[in-house]
Structure 1
Amino acid sequence: MKKNLLLVAAISLVSTQVNAQCPVGESEVTVNVVLDRYGSEISWSLTGPNNTPVYASGDGYANATANGEYPLDPVTVCVPVGTQIFFHAEDSYGDGWCCAYGEGGYTVVVDGLEVASGGAFASSQTSQVFLGTDLAVENLTMEPVVVQGDLTITGSVVNTGVTPITSFTLTYTVDGGTPVSVPVTASIDPGESYTFSHPTPWSASLGSHSIAVDISDVPADGVASNDLLDQNVGVADQSAPRTTIIEQFTSSTCPPCASLNVTFGPTLTSLNTNQAGNNIAAIKYHMNWPSPGNDPSYNPDGNTRKSYYGVTGIPDLFIDGKPMTSVGASYIQDQAARNAFVDLQLSYWTNGNTINVTAEVTPLWEYTGTHKLHIGLVENGYDYAASTTTQDEFHFVQRKMLPNGQGNTLTPFAEDVTQTVNREYTMVFGGPAQGNYNFWDGGVQDVTVVAFVQNVSTKEILQAALAPVLVGMEENEAGQELRVFPNPTNGALNLMFDASMGSGNASIEVFNTLGERVYGINRPLNGGTQREVLDLSSLNDGVYFVHITADGFRASRTVNLTK
């Protein structure tokens, strides 16, 4: 996402352009490119295999002053029949050519027939075309880690040729074992993709496996090298419900940020973002640019996160550590619906303006690499009339990372081995200014704790969690001892907690992922260890959030119901 405004210069084209009819034995290939607002980030090329030869290319375009579509003149070249060509589209910023700043994109047309198109990607996209007949395995769409049991082999094939395809044979093997084949009848026109789900599932057993998918029996198939694709899949014995997290880089001095907020702000609100019982979290890091660059919410922790992601322009958005390719609600919900294989339990207790946060990280799969736990204190919202844009109301704003923007380094993961991180911080309310970590004037009740586990090198966020601070319900240290088991549960859920510091009645509530209260009881606190059995058998399978509150006591846990 973007960006500081740049001056507009004249649009230039670096390419080879031919507009004559092609000779016999060659096909006419036309490239149509439409820029979005930020043309300076866009480059493209049309090449043969291994980038040789280069038939045409373009870059060095200027930026426009407004979001929109800015088509270039078509570029036409002649290419020998039977040649494999590649269209490479690149965006130096990493947010593609579409769609937040205009419906940019490209099409490749061969002898009047559109055979490839694109534009919605992150940093780059490559479309391959064979000037003849060719069907290729486009991608495999299984998750990298799954739960043991029947797994449907899914993915897509794409017609990269210039002739229609009506049938093929689809085969998969696991770890080089017995091939599992099925004939497929489908009408796939040039440039079109066909999504497949193999009708014979794989009985996934625990461990790491290699799945290979290949296609055959395509008459006159011209390229054999793209008929096979493989994917490594890990199989675990359990999963955890996912909380997805959106990280946004923004500023009160950024007009494009304000424009994005007109639609994106209501989207986050509609998804109950950062609300108790929900599984969508958000944290926004405010920057000190563009000019005048005087946003009071800018602080070093946000700057550290900016450097980690390599952000050079705003607004910029990431979801679970990956650049967001859409800001729509359904896209966010799809991310949140994925299984997670790290369990992250988050709790806290407060004493005045001092907050003590405890996070328990339990890998359910032996992920390799270095991982960090990041904990953020987020201000839910405030008004700032001195904003230099049309936006004067701000939400989900990062005020402090614990202990800082570098996070907490975890020891190497071992399956089912829990690591516990404790952090304490005293919040200061009032007087926010660049360089300090002061909150605005909302008080403790306007703070949400968010946390997430991130692979340092790949930037993938494996799991997140959120815990809003509730008015008048300070969690004591005993709240950290809340145990829920079994989890996942088939209906009967045991709660055990120490209420020695609590008094009066305890409210035990269960919320679904929409934030709806679906179960609740009140019971007296008698002191000492408490035990309660909840009957959730009447609820639908899914993710639920259990909250216990009482005078001086608060704790929350996430539960997976599978009957």
Structure 2
Amino acid sequence: MNILGLRIKFGLSSSLNTHIDLITKMKKHLLTTLSLFLAMVAYGQCPTGETEVTFELVLDRYGSEITWEITGQGGSPVYQSGGPYTDEASNASFPQPDLVFCVPDGTILEVTIDDSFGDGMCCQWGAGSWALSVGGTELASGSEFEDTDGATLVIGGTDLGIVSSGVPSIAAAGNVTISGTVQNFGTEAISSFTLDYSIDNGTPVQQVFGTSVPVGGTAPFSFTTPWAATGGSYVVDIDLSGVSGDLISVNNSLSQDVSIASQIGTRLPLLEQFTSSTCNPCFTLNNTSGFVDMLEALSPNSQSNPEIAVIKYQYDFPGVGDHAYNAEVGDRVFGFYFSGSIGIPEVLVDADLSPNSFALTSSDILDYQDKPAVIDISATHTIVNGNEITVDVTVDPYVSVNATLQIALVEKHYDATNASSFSNGETEFFHIFRKLISGSNGTSVNLTADNQYTTQKSYTATINPNLPAQGSFDFHAGSELEVVVFIQGPGPERIIYNSAISTGSSQLTGLTDYTDNLAIGVYPNPVTSEQLSVVVDSKGSDDAVMTITDIKGAVVLTQSLGKFISGVNRRTVDVNNLTTGVYNVNVLTSGHMHSKRIIVQK
């Protein structure tokens, strides 16, 4: 050692060297132990008696709609929560950092995912999803839902639950198989379980299932002893037992209402299509992919031997301008089938949404003919004076149900070659929806098994030789009328019990005549003042009534214009209460309807 220029030499005994080696080894051991401890902390390992849980979240474009929390049973304590998030500029998937946390063993964990808009996390705006896992095994997940999704799980413990029944809510008399699915909601594998089923609290039928259900897994079950069902309404109860340490009791039972038909009718499948003349994929489906040709080969809406019933709803999306859109189309799309955003084209067969409209085949559609029909429907109709439609409906129910009767008035075909507003290139349209006789809500019917139900409904149609104004329920002059009758249950199943094609006259002519647009003038247009001048070249001398409707067909103003002379008539109308938008001015006089579209700019 050199200190202040002095050279000093130390000598160490062998005993001291031994102690230094020991200290060095102890230091290395302590450093190794510390490194292992830090690694444990870094990887989130939990103390004894707790289990590590991982929550994964992938957002779609609209993260601001998503909030979530993971809690103990009943909402407390809150282990993790999140949202709302920031919206993104484009449609895509946006993974969030995984969350890893510890939960005491034996905890009943509740996962709740909320979407404020009500369209879930997948798939139009991006493939969003959520998942909860333990030890790399996924216990629960979700993506496609409406307002709320979630799960109840057992962490560090055992739970098996019944998650679904395979018993149809309506079935034919005879042997009915009792089946369903169980799911492992715990973190321990299950090797066997016992199930019982009973009908109306009768003698239970028990069976032991030696089926292994892995952590996070599901397993089907099917009783070997069927239910010998006869016509009537019943309650089927399925109960689970035989799982040692099962912690959640509320998922051990499933109760289901089942109706057994006294006989089976003949089913006519109903295909409903949501489409638009402003939608490019709709053109591709209908024309390039041959969807129209495929449907026409099935004799849709034919009064003799139809294989399917078809209703096509022309929607005002993704661009405005489809003149066949009206408020009842909007009600059918969002008021009944969908609660949030949809992508079109969409096709449903007997209320089942096709996962891929472009892959739907005629065989797929005709398979629905084999589903038991527990209601038979027949209908006839007449047309008086060319536009006064009366429909008589007879329903023969073989089960007791509360449902809705709908009578849809449909145009068989129209050609709109000269319509420049159809941006996707379509010019021919088939089986186009125009009106539900009883409105969007239909007619509520309480059907009793084996008691025939009859009703009569009427509607006066308006005939328009030009393109009907968007929002109206007008028919084209010379249209062939198709009347589709169907009975449907409420949500969420929205069961189509059956449908039928009414037989009767198909030609609409009508007393109400839309004259050439040259017979009416409106000034100024666009409307920028409080007054609107209306000039009509009347074909006769009669009282005149003016109605102004908005783009959805709702009447916003009705006013008498007094008695018109045969010839040119001028009137001034106060339109101060009209807000900015597009409207139709309609003047009815001498049996003729004169219409003109106006644009109000304020």
Question: Shared fold (TM-score greater than 0.5)?
Answer: yes
CA distance in 1, matches of 2:381, 2:291: 24
1:136–1:304 CA distance, 2 compared to 1 (3 A):
closer
1:333–1:143 CA distance, 2 compared to 1 (3 A):
farther
1:462–1:288 CA distance, 2 compared to 1 (3 A):
closer
CA distance in 2, matches of 1:123, 1:348: 42
Task: For residues 64-112 of structure 1, give each alpha carbon's deviation from its aligned partner in whole angstroms, at most 9, with x where no partner exists.
Answer: 5655433222222221111111223344555543445543322211132
Select the residue among 171, 194, 197 that pairs with 2:219: 194
CA positional deviation for 1:39: 4.1
Task: For residues 141-180 of structure 1, give each alpha carbon's deviation from its aligned partner in whole angstroms, at most 9, with x where no partner exists.
Answer: 2122222211100110001111222211222122222221
Select the residue among 72, 76, 96 that pairs with 1:72: 96
The letter for the 2-side match of 1:212 is: D
Q: How does 1:462-481 map to 2 (within 5 A)?
A: 462-467=496-501
Q: Which residue of 2 aligns with 1:126?
A: 150
Report whether the alignment pairs 1:299 with 2:313: no
Q: Return 5+ residue gaps in structure 2 as ranges.
A: 1-41, 509-602
Cα contact 1:320–1:460 (8 A) shared by 2:
no
Report whether the alignment pairs 1:338 with 2:371: yes
1:302–1:112 CA distance, 2 compared to 1 (3 A):
closer
Q: Which residue of 2 aligns with 1:407?
A: 442
1:218–1:306 CA distance, 2 compared to 1 (3 A):
closer
Q: Which secondary structure does the structure 2 equivalent of 1:166 belong to?
A: coil
CA positional deviation for 1:348: 4.3
CA positional deviation for 1:194: 1.0
1:30–1:263 CA distance, 2 compared to 1 (3 A):
farther
Q: Which residue of 1 aligns with 2:396?
A: 362
CA distance in 2, matches of 1:231, 1:440: 48
Q: Which residue of 1 aligns with 2:407?
A: 374
Cα contact 1:283–1:378 (8 A) shared by 2:
no
1:366–1:219 CA distance, 2 compared to 1 (3 A):
same
Cα contact 1:340–1:462 (8 A) shared by 2:
no
Select the residue among 467, 471, 474 that pairs with 1:438: 474
CA distance in 2, matches of 1:62, 1:250: 32
CA positional deviation for 1:209: 1.8
CA distance in 2, matches of 1:278, 1:174: 39
Q: Which residue of 2 aligns with 1:174?
A: 199
1:406–1:59 CA distance, 2 compared to 1 (3 A):
same
CA distance in 2, matches of 1:407, 1:81: 53
Task: For residues 334-391 of structure 1, give each alpha carbon's deviation from its aligned partner in whole angstroms, at most 9, with x where no partner exists.
Answer: 76653232222244466896565443222222224x6333323145565554234587
Q: Which residue of 1 aligns with 2:550?
A: none
Cα contact 1:44–1:90 (8 A) shared by 2:
yes
Cα contact 1:252–1:295 (8 A) shared by 2:
yes
Q: Which secondary structure does the structure 2 equivalent of 1:301 belong to?
A: helix
Cα contact 1:372–1:456 (8 A) shared by 2:
no
TM-score, normalised with respect to structure 1: 0.68
Cα contact 1:372–1:408 (8 A) shared by 2:
yes
Task: For residues 501-528 of structure 1, give each alpha carbon's deviation from its aligned partner in whole angstroms, at most 9, with x where no partner exists.
Answer: xxxxxxxxxxxxxxxxxxxxxxxxxxxx
CA distance in 2, matches of 1:375, 1:234: 27
Task: For residues 191-237 of structure 1, give each alpha carbon's deviation from its aligned partner in whole angstroms, at most 9, with x where no partner exists.
Answer: 11111221110111332222111222223323233222121212221
1:306–1:114 CA distance, 2 compared to 1 (3 A):
closer
CA distance in 1, matches of 2:286, 2:218: 30
Q: Which secondary structure does the structure 2 equivalent of 1:127 belong to?
A: strand
Q: Which residue of 1 aligns with 2:134?
A: 110
Q: Which moved more, 1:74-83 or 1:49-58?
A: 49-58
Select the residue among 295, 311, 316 that pairs with 1:283: 311
Report whether the alignment pairs 1:85 with 2:85: no
CA distance in 2, matches of 1:473, 1:439: 12
Cα contact 1:341–1:462 (8 A) shared by 2:
no
Larger gyration radius, structure 1 or structure 2: 2
1:216–1:459 CA distance, 2 compared to 1 (3 A):
closer
1:151–1:56 CA distance, 2 compared to 1 (3 A):
same
Q: Which residue of 2 aligns with 1:421?
A: 456
Cα contact 1:379–1:439 (8 A) shared by 2:
no
TM-score, normalised with respect to structure 2: 0.64
Cα contact 1:379–1:398 (8 A) shared by 2:
no
Cα contact 1:274–1:468 (8 A) shared by 2:
no
Report whether the alignment pairs 1:136 with 2:161: yes
CA positional deviation for 1:239: 2.6
Identical aligned residues as a percent: 31
CA distance in 2, matches of 1:404, 1:231: 32
The letter for the 2-side match of 1:142 is: V
RCO higher in structure (CA 8 A, sep ≥6): 1
Q: Which residue of 1 aligns with 2:485?
A: 451
Select the residue among 58, 62, 76 that pairs with 1:34: 58
CA distance in 2, matches of 1:120, 1:432: 37
The letter for the 2-side match of 1:283 is: I
1:347–1:65 CA distance, 2 compared to 1 (3 A):
farther
1:65–1:224 CA distance, 2 compared to 1 (3 A):
same
Q: Which secondary structure does the structure 1 equivalent of 2:74 belong to?
A: helix
Q: Which secondary structure does the structure 1 equivalent of 2:141 belong to?
A: strand
Report whether the alignment pairs 1:49 with 2:73: yes
CA distance in 2, matches of 1:283, 1:194: 39
CA distance in 2, matches of 1:334, 1:98: 28
Cα contact 1:244–1:336 (8 A) shared by 2:
yes
Select the residue among 151, 157, 173 that pairs with 2:182: 157
Q: Which secondary structure does the structure 1 equivalent of 2:329 belong to?
A: helix
Cα contact 1:43–1:90 (8 A) shared by 2:
yes
Select the residue among 346, 355, 364 that pairs with 1:326: 355
Q: How does 1:237-276 map to 2 (within 5 A)?
A: 237-247=262-272, 251-253=276-278, 258-259=280-281, 262=284, 266=289, 269=292, 270=294, 272=298, 274=300, 276=302
CA distance in 1, matches of 2:313, 2:486: 15
Q: Which secondary structure does the structure 2 equivalent of 1:229 belong to?
A: strand
1:45–1:115 CA distance, 2 compared to 1 (3 A):
same
Select the residue among 14, 17, 22 that pairs with 2:46: 22
CA distance in 1, matches of 2:193, 2:429: 54
Select the residue among 166, 184, 188 that pairs with 2:209: 184
Report whether the alignment pairs 1:206 with 2:243: no
**Greater share of helix residues, 1 or 2?**
2
The letter for the 2-side match of 1:301 is: E
Task: For residues 514-546 of structure 1, give each alpha carbon's deviation from its aligned partner in whole angstroms, at most 9, with x where no partner exists.
Answer: xxxxxxxxxxxxxxxxxxxxxxxxxxxxxxxxx
CA distance in 2, matches of 1:351, 1:100: 46
CA distance in 2, matches of 1:189, 1:315: 37
Q: Which secondary structure does the structure 1 equivalent of 2:224 belong to?
A: coil
Q: Return 5+ residue gaps in structure 1 as ranges.
A: 1-17, 476-563
Cα contact 1:19–1:77 (8 A) shared by 2:
no
CA distance in 2, matches of 1:230, 1:250: 39
